[in-house]
């Protein structure tokens, strides 16, 4: 099982080596901004490396939004990030499930379908990630996720399961892999994170699993069980830099 970390985008190859990671994930532009990614000097090196690469789309992307001033640029950003992700040989572009605020969730699911239908395939699959919060979120509660998948499941879209988001979003980690697979039929990536906040808190604050001795509110053994059951590549998005993340990766490897 390949395990790695979300790292600073300046030098992902060095960051991966510092953590003994087999997988690396990073942003290609400011996660809070609308800027397009710039060409990377290390694109070919990333492609040629043994590392499996995942790219995380900016957090502001919300293709479900009823607001066209958010929805339309979100689609464009998803496209340009997928194109840029292809240049580094990425295995997937992770996009948060998004939310519709005070709007109708059914419109959010339809907006997802429209976004994926318009999306030009770059060879890098879009992986929809479950979220911890968001008003009327498309992929926080699994009853919503099931409706989302009824709407987009035929469009060859993948799924990224985040353990912190599930816990803080109010979905129990026990048997969660079976529950997800009953809905999506697949898990393409696991974000194995602890949580600083409690069950169903709606707050998205990742914590270490083991690194720094800070298990947060989420039982690390439960996260390891999710990793074992999912049988997918794993990325820790935890604090503490190379030391904290390196310890989390080592913990997961010891519990496979």
Smallest distance from the beta carbon of 41 to Zn ion, in angstroms? Answer: 27
Q: Which is nearer to Zn ion, 103 or 202 (CB)?
A: 202
Other CB atoms within a 10 A radius of the CB of residue 20 amount to: 14
Can you tell me the distance from the alpha carbon of 217 to that of 173, in angstroms, rounded to the nearest whole number? Answer: 12
Smallest distance from the beta carbon of 102 to Zn ion, in angstroms? Answer: 25
> Residues 255, 23: contact at Cβ < 8 Å?
no
Candidates 10, 16, 17, 90; CA nearest to 42 is 10
Give the residues lining the site for Zn ion (CB under 5 A). 162, 191, 237
Q: Which is nearer to Zn ion, 48 or 172 (CB)?
A: 172
Torsion sign over Cα 133, 135, 140, 143: positive
Smallest distance from the beta carbon of 53 to Zn ion, in angstroms? Answer: 16
Tokens of 124: 């890098």
Q: Which is nearer to Zn ion, 169 or 246 (CB)?
A: 169
Q: Which is nearer to Zn ion, 15 or 237 (CB)?
A: 237
Helices (H) and strands (E) counted in the chain, each on its own, are: 9, 10
SS (H, E, C) 55-88: EECCCCCCCCCCCHHHHHHHHHHHHHHHHHHHHC
Q: Which is nearer to Zn ion, 54 or 149 (CB)?
A: 54
Q: Which is nearer to Zn ion, 103 or 241 (CB)?
A: 241
Q: What are the backbone angles phi and psi of residue 136, rounded to the nearest 5°?
A: 55, 60
Can you tell me the distance from the alpha carbon of 120 to that of 82, in angstroms, rounded to the nearest whole number? Answer: 9
Smallest distance from the beta carbon of 237 to Zn ion, in angstroms? Answer: 5
Smallest distance from the beta carbon of 25 to Zn ion, in angstroms? Answer: 9
Smallest distance from the beta carbon of 207 to Zn ion, in angstroms? Answer: 13
**Residue showing the smallest CB distance to Zn ion in the complex:** 191
């Amino acid at each position: 099982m390949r395990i790695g970390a979300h790292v600073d985008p300046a030098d992902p190859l060095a960051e991966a080596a510092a953590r003994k990671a087999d997988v690396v994930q990073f942003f290609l532009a400011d996660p809070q901004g609308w800027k397009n990614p710039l060409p990377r000097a290390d694109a070919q090196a990333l492609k040629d490396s043994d590392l499996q690469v995942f790219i995380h789309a900016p957090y502001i992307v919300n293709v479900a939004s009823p607001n066209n001033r958010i929805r339309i640029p979100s689609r464009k950003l998803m496209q340009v990030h997928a194109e840029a992700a292809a240049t580094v040989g990425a295995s997937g572009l992770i996009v948060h499930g998004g939310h519709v605020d005070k709007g109708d969730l059914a419109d959010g699911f339809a907006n997802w379908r429209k976004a994926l239908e318009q999306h030009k395939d770059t060879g890098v699959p879009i992986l929809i990630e479950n979220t911890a919060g968001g008003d009327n979120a498309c992929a926080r509660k699994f009853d919503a996720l099931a409706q989302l998948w009824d709407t987009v499941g035929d469009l060859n879209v993948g799924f990224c399961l985040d353990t912190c988001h599930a816990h803080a979003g109010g979905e129990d980690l026990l048997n969660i892999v079976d529950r997800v697979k009953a809905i999506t039929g697949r898990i393409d990536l696991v974000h194995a994170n602890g949580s600083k906040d409690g069950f169903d808190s709606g707050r998205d604050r990742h914590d270490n699993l083991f690194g720094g001795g800070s298990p947060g509110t989420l039982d690390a053994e439960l996260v390891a069980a999710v990793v074992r059951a999912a049988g997918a590549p794993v990325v820790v998005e935890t604090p503490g830099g190379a030391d904290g993340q390196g310890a989390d990766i080592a913990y997961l490897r010891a519990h496979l």
